[in-house]
A and B are shown apart, each in its own frame.
Chain A
């Protein structure tokens, strides 16, 4: 099909269509709305053979998705911000049910005050719900990730739902060129839906009933194992996708100018592009710095992160969400996971920025990274936690 210029939201809708989803249950919320509008259009025009359930709330959006998935359908939904929070009970339910479902999260700040602009607060809030969680950097990656999400979710070694994060407006409403493969190729690559069990009345089957503590714990331990398996599966799927479609990203993380880097920047999501631009300028000025981009927040890429950052002279983790009373969410994850592999951590700084949609440009990244490295070179350690507010 070749290059199309698509907003992030239309990209997601197109990828779900090309994955041949059979049931879409969704409720509109800014800035996600145009995803479901596009899907409604595909379905009503007969371009996508699927059933759309126009539910009365986000809570029901994921509940209906769960029901359809249980009964054997490939399912997709999308949400954002307060919709995701309203759905949160079901996010846990679907994860713990081990039922493949794919959901796009067009990330946005949480109220009050009302704020429609992007940050990662809604997305990171779901991290303990047994979902595989990925964030893309641009619309091409969002397209590829969405297709890959179905493959990962429906892998028998995984059988966990997957959410794809894309920043509201920055990706959601911004049009970019997207290389769209042929439907035939997608069909061949993705194949028919696979799931661990189907409840369709063909045999008596009960799911989710009361289980004793030890049984429950075993089921939850299985989820942890499935997450571990998912690390392998995600890398395999990325490699395989690269072979078939010509694009691969590095699996759980993506590295930019890391090979000879002595300092490292860690980001997740769309603003990684601005950080990369800043790194190019810093490189021009002789700063040996590279970018490690977290593509998957769950399972957390602990080995990959460790292998890149272990010998770093200094790391800056940029967070677009904060766990109030503590620190940036990604930072907390990263430090905890590094400690799985080493007792001697490099200096790791946490800069929280861009909360509530505050615009962070390559200049902000440039100045923050430069000043941090300059301090470290002088033998000074700037405060580990810094909330950067650009007024």
Chain B
């Protein structure tokens, strides 16, 4: 009777991590992702959170909707503060606590880029998770450098013209021990990557694709479906980078064969933000996606 499970459940009761009373929108990928973070890393986590939706999602003082420690910090500084926390913990001989910088695409790809690059270059022991909802959602859906071309935002009313900044690739160029992409549509894959990252010493970077119902203009019940479509159309590629080599992750493996990918329009048509997308935009995105796949194949 009922729905049969295709995959085994994640090993912890995920309700322990994100507590009732948080302030997220319906269908928010942040709460889903934080549950996976809690499942993978346990309660001994210090999240360092710059200005972003999560600042609000965890709720107002004196409560906190995340069952772990959080240090809220100024916008550009997640990686810098986490550097300080990581070094102080190391000095104090505390080795069982995970320092996690948890920032959106604005706080990572734009204003936080310098501190991210600095922390990566210095190879501090932390996991940096960029939850990528492809715009400034907390301030009202403004374009970031991680917004894809063709997407409407309140500062690109006719659609963004420039390609999406590839932050994972930038982090690979830093030569850090571990870089991965993940998707909220594939929590087991994200979980496995967090587990692996937690065992590696040094700087780890995970870029998590996180569809936002409010900003992307879709029904809150569709978050996972849309996240999966991004992977199934080949638009978002799940991979890991370690020791100079890229490994394609399970959910993305079939789509190395272009003929297996779903048409991109399936992904676009569910989202209000792509209402104005043109044939020209789609061609540009296809070119961009092809290049991304070619680049990955080169390093596999």
Enumerate chain A interface residues (CB-CB to B < 8 A). Answer: 22-23, 25, 51, 53-57, 59-60, 63-73, 75, 89-90, 93, 199-201, 203-212, 215
Contact = CB atoms under 8 A, between A and B. Distances in A.
Interface string B168-205: 00000000000000000000000000000000000000
- The SS class assigned to the A binding surface is mixed
A209 B89 contact: no
B300 interface: no
Contacts of A68: 84-85, 87-88
Contacts of B94: 200-201
B77 A199 contact: no
B76 A59 contact: yes
Contacts of B70: 205-209
Contact of A23 (B55, B77, B84): B84
B80 interface: yes
B64 A67 contact: no
A200 B44 CA distance: 9
Contacts of B121: 56
B84 A53 contact: yes
A66 B73 contact: yes
B48 A67 contact: yes
Contact of A63 (B56, B81, B90): B81
B74 A89 contact: yes
B109 interface: no
Interface in B17-36: none
5 contacts: A59-B77, A67-B85, A69-B84, A206-B66, A215-B62
A56 B117 contact: yes
A60 B64 contact: no
A72 B59 CA distance: 26
B283 interface: no
B25 to A, nearest CB: 16
Interface residues of B, number: 48
A201 B84 contact: no
Contacts of A208: 70-73
Given A51-B90, A56-B114, A72-B88, A200 B97 contact: yes
B83 A53 contact: yes
B72 A207 contact: yes
A29 to B, nearest CB: 16
B88 A22 contact: yes
B262 interface: no
Given A67-B71, A90-B77, A199-B69, A210 B61 contact: yes
A70 B64 CA distance: 18
A206 B80 CA distance: 18
Contact of B71 (A55, A203, A207): A207
A93 B73 CA distance: 8
Contacts of B122: 53-54
Nearest to A199: B69
Contacts of A206: 58, 61, 64, 66, 69-72
Nearest to B42: A201
A391 to B, nearest CB: 41
A23 B87 contact: yes
Nearest to B97: A201
A203 B46 CA distance: 10
B84 A65 contact: yes
B67 interface: yes
